[in-house]
Amino acid sequence: MKVRFWGTRGSIAVPGEKTSKYGGNTSCVEVRAADGTVIVLDCGTGARELGRHLLASTSKPLRLHLFIGHTHWDHIQGFPFFGPVLLPETEMNVYAPAGFQRSVEDAIAGQMQYSYFPITLRDLRSRIHFTELEEGFFRVGEVLIQTQYLNHTAPTLAYRISSGGATVAYVTDHEPFWKPAGRAFRHPGDQRHLSFLEGSDLIIHDAQYSDEEYAGKIGWGHSTVEYATDIALSAGSSRLALFHHDPVHDDVTVAHLEATARERAAATSRSLEVFAAAEGLELDVRGNGHKAPVTAVPAIRRPPMAGKRVLVVSSNETEIATIGQMLTEDNLVLLPTSDKRTALASVAEVFPDMAIIDERLPDGTGADLIQPLRARLNNPDFPIIMLTEGTDMADSACVGGTASVDCLAKPFSPPMLRTRVLSWLIRATASESPRSAGTAGVGIARRSTDEHAADALVGGLQGAAAATYADTLALMPLFRSLDREQLLNLVAQATEKIFTAGNVVIHQGEPTDSLYVVLSGQMRVVQSTVESPVSGQVLAEVGYGEIFGEMGVLTEQPRSATVVAVEHTRCLALAPDDFMKVLQRTPEMAIAVLRMLARRLYHADRLLARYAPDPLTGLLGRRAFHDHYQRLAAGSRRRRSGVVLMVLDIIHLKTINDRFGYMVGDEVLRTVADALTEATRTTDLVARYGGDEFAVLLVDTGPAHTAVIVKRVHERLSDLAARRGLPLAVQCAIGMAGSHEPPETADELLWVADEDLRRR
């Protein structure tokens, strides 16, 4: 294979005299396989020059494969400047891990919004295909691609590329799972990393820091020169490229680190060529005959993660709260317990998908819980992350165990823990095998795997399951004043329900039968209208630890609003009688509910002010226009029906005010508003956007109908001006913008429509 470096820097580009030798552009590497396949590894600022090179040297049409390690800015910021994506004959296949609640396509499109860049992703003329990867393997032509998660602050993949008997491993950004003692890699994560690299002919490895610098950078997600050298030596590689140079390192510093790594390699009996990657460096990689085992798991898959259950065993409430917030952001369910006894009592009924265990527990060590926990679950590979306080404890918990026990030092980095949780859940999902029939029916845990079901109902909670949910509620501010007995009474008749995005949980006007506590996900409270029963005026967003449906219970009246799931959401449905009994006996909780209601009323008052119509024209204002646009655009995207945005400016309104007075000017504004209202449908959105500006969103229509709409507006303007006796003809300049897939915000369409108006 042929390898060429186009960008070698990490974090941010730093071109200049002091970085001219090794380069100042961010990550980008070109690989040409034996069968001619062109692979691009990451798309930092180095991609600009690579694009120019490909356009000048490669036959058309271009068929390229871009592998992105993760979507942090320094790995994608060159994409808008990559010349081949502008050509209609280019086919670009983009591969990357999914980020936190965001796809790779969304991440790249996000940095190309008009607010940041003049060309959007949709404007590109090339054919672009996005593929999200997990751990596993797949092939591109004759090239074998293997992937494995790295230890970083966002989901990040390493790529092992094999072609023509040669293998290149691309490993950035990555931090040691545990700082090795000497050159031994005792942590199971480091052992997995070593196995992935074994026998590679060239390893391109993150080496951002020296050992001294790393002491102050733990948890940032990057490796040292020493670690990269040692792991390459242990992997039996013949060449190591030190990569992802720190932006504060000039050429002199990088050269010094390169010399340090060479001396370290030379001190061993193994043969390893070590060099610092430099922009423009070209390598011919030939194979050594080693073939790494190929996993049987395909990398191109999307296992569902929302709703997975994470058992957290810790007596530290702050620690549990931090983890709970982190899990909620990924729609995962927190199952908190405080000690070994409670964990073992509840686990067979709640059936978690993985566990996070504090090494220090009130009734023993976390390490002592591993085997009993797995035995109780009948799962010897049940994934566990152990939170430890030192290397000795880490060794006792992790070393000698199975590879599915992970260790993370405290104080831990929440983003680092978050990526490890997702990595282990994905691995566990990939290796899942059907449980025995006896285990599959246990307690509340064996939920439906049909992610499209409207809801999954689980029977009343009893025993250890009730205790687990009592623990869950105890962590929520609303229920903290309740004692253990009150919590158990509250959940005794509760049921757990699962709602997928778009499901209506409560219909406005229906009788009251329960209220809900959000365990994970997000709900939206909507004031329904006849035209839009489930997407009317948004009154509130309800998330983890909050309740909804309480107004119907408190007033004993039908539901006053509709509640819709924004995303995959898990709720605990409480019996109204049980809730009222606890509320009546607990003044502290009654006050907490009162405060919650007061906040919601305050928010509703602000909404009324926000959506109050323009006092002169009766139309919506600018802020209300943007909020209503998001709702209407989302519906249009689902229906794939398209929208047209029309922007109107009244011509010479200032002159009209100066010549005829403000009373006439105000009447002109009212006339334009009335003309727009009469010329459009009730389902369209009409707003006074500024002093003399109006915006009209026409839903379920396309550019082909704009001429008819504009003609209708001019006719209504002329007719109303004549009937109202205005002393002048009212004229408006009109700009248009249309889209079959309207963007999430109105900014892009407003910009296009404004440019169209200026050209007229």
CA dist., res. 7 & res. 4, Å (int): 9
Residue 336 sits in the same domain as residue 256: no
Structural element, H or E, at residue 377: helix 370-377
pLDDT band at 400 (very low <50, low <70, confident <90, very high): very low
pLDDT band at 256 (very low <50, low <70, confident <90, very high): very high
pLDDT band at 386 (very low <50, low <70, confident <90, very high): very high
pLDDT at residue 201 in the model: 95
User: What's the rounded mean pLDDT across residues 136-157?
Assistant: 92
pLDDT band at 45 (very low <50, low <70, confident <90, very high): very high
CATH number of domain containing 344? 3.40.50.2300
Q: What are phi and psi of 51, to 5 degrees?
A: -60, -45
Domain count, the chain: 4
pLDDT band at 455 (very low <50, low <70, confident <90, very high): very low
- Which amino acid is located at 10 in the chain? G
pLDDT at residue 328 in the model: 77
List, in sequence order, every residue forming a beta bridge with 569; answer none if it has no partner.
499
pLDDT tens digits, 341-367 = 888 988 866 778 899 999 999 988 999
pLDDT at residue 460 in the model: 39
Determine the 3-state secondary structure of 326 from DSSP. Answer: helix
CA dist., res. 731 & res. 653, Å (int): 9
* Boundary of a domain, candidates 284, 300, 319: 284
Q: Is the pLDDT of residue 612 over 50?
A: yes
Residue 349 sits in the same domain as residue 411: yes
Q: Is the pLDDT of residue 448 over 50?
A: no
304 belongs to a structural domain:
no
49 belongs to a structural domain:
yes
pLDDT tens digits, 2-12 = 999 999 999 99
Local structure of residue 223 (DSSP, 8 states): -
pLDDT at residue 156 in the model: 94
The whole domain housing 22 covers 2-284
Strand 504-506's sheet: what is its strand order?
504-506, 562-565, 523-527, 537-542
User: What's the rounded mean pLDDT across residues 468-485?
Assistant: 84
524 belongs to a structural domain:
yes
Q: Nearest CA to 751 among 108, 121, 117?
A: 117
Residue 73 sits in the same domain as residue 165: yes
pLDDT at residue 296 in the model: 63
374 against 500, higher pLDDT: 374
pLDDT at residue 740 in the model: 85
Residue 576 sits in the same domain as residue 690: no
497 against 297, higher pLDDT: 497
pLDDT at residue 403 in the model: 56
CATH number of domain containing 637? 3.30.70.270
53 against 510, higher pLDDT: 53
Q: Rounded to the nearest 5 degrees, what angle is found at the Cα of 147, between the Cα atoms of 44 and 411?
A: 80
CATH number of domain containing 145? 3.60.15.10
Residue 132 sits in the same domain as residue 254: yes
pLDDT at residue 227 in the model: 95
453 belongs to a structural domain:
no
380 belongs to a structural domain:
yes
* Boundary of a domain, candidates 578, 609, 640: 609
186 against 35, higher pLDDT: 35
Q: 409 Cβ partners below 8 Å, 6+ apart? A: 178, 218, 387, 388, 389, 390, 394
Contact status, residue 553 vs residue 593, Cβ threshold 8 Å: no
pLDDT at residue 641 in the model: 83
- Which amino acid is located at 309 in the chain? R
pLDDT band at 530 (very low <50, low <70, confident <90, very high): very low
pLDDT at residue 608 in the model: 58
CA dist., res. 741 & res. 636, Å (int): 7
Structural element, H or E, at residue 585: helix 576-585
Q: Tokens 């250890």 correspond to what residue?
A: 464
Burial of 725 (0-12, 13-18, 19+ CB in 10 A): exposed
pLDDT at residue 370 in the model: 92
Query: How crowded is the C-beta side of 279, counted as CA atoms within 13 Å?
Result: 28
Residue 35 sits in the same domain as residue 118: yes
pLDDT at residue 390 in the model: 65
pLDDT band at 277 (very low <50, low <70, confident <90, very high): very high
CA dist., res. 254 & res. 252, Å (int): 6
- pLDDT above 90 as % of the chain: 44
CA 275 remoteness from chain centre: 36
Question: Among the listed ranges 189-203, 444-458, 576-590, which one has the minimum average pLDDT value?
Answer: 444-458
Question: Among the listed ranges 284-293, 441-450, 548-557, 721-730, which one has the minimum average pLDDT value?
Answer: 441-450
CA dist., res. 496 & res. 28, Å (int): 48
Residue 353 sits in the same domain as residue 426: yes
CA dist., res. 215 & res. 45, Å (int): 29
CATH number of domain containing 602? 2.60.120.10
Residue 419 sits in the same domain as residue 531: no
242 against 606, higher pLDDT: 242
pLDDT band at 312 (very low <50, low <70, confident <90, very high): very high
* Boundary of a domain, candidates 609, 641, 667: 609
pLDDT tens digits, 91-105 = 999 999 987 767 888
Residue 135 sits in the same domain as residue 161: yes
pLDDT tens digits, 407-439 = 888 888 888 899 999 889 888 876 654 333 333
Determine the 3-state secondary structure of 509 from DSSP. Answer: coil
Q: Is the pLDDT of residue 394 over 70?
A: no
Q: Is the pLDDT of residue 649 over 50?
A: yes
- pLDDT above 70 as % of the chain: 88
pLDDT, averaged across the chain = 85
Instruction: Look at the alpha carbons of 374, 380, 383, 384 in this order and tell me if their dihedral is positive or negative.
Output: positive
pLDDT band at 718 (very low <50, low <70, confident <90, very high): very high
560 belongs to a structural domain:
yes
Contact status, residue 538 vs residue 576, Cβ threshold 8 Å: no
pLDDT at residue 433 in the model: 41
Q: Is the pLDDT of residue 458 over 50?
A: no
630 belongs to a structural domain:
yes
300 belongs to a structural domain:
no
Question: Among the listed ranges 268-272, 342-346, 390-394, 745-749, which one has the minimum average pLDDT value?
Answer: 390-394
Q: What is the dihedral of CA 378, 462, 584, 580, to 10 degrees?
A: 100
Strands 547-548 and 562-565: unpaired
Q: Is the pLDDT of residue 527 over 70?
A: yes
CA dist., res. 419 & res. 433, Å (int): 24
- Angle, helices 576-585 vs 484-491, to 10°: value is 160
CA dist., res. 494 & res. 514, Å (int): 9
User: What's the rounded mean pLDDT across residues 454-458?
Assistant: 34
User: What's the rounded mean pLDDT across residues 134-140?
Assistant: 90
Q: Nearest CA to 240 among 273, 278, 196, 271?
A: 273
Question: Among the listed ranges 100-104, 113-117, 395-399, 692-696, which one has the minimum average pLDDT value?
Answer: 395-399
User: What's the rounded mean pLDDT across residues 213-224?
Assistant: 92
pLDDT band at 532 (very low <50, low <70, confident <90, very high): very low
Contact status, residue 7 vs residue 41, Cβ threshold 8 Å: no
Residue 188 sits in the same domain as residue 43: yes
pLDDT band at 259 (very low <50, low <70, confident <90, very high): very high
CA dist., res. 212 & res. 411, Å (int): 20
pLDDT band at 541 (very low <50, low <70, confident <90, very high): confident
Residue 479 sits in the same domain as residue 513: yes
Residue 375 sits in the same domain as residue 247: no
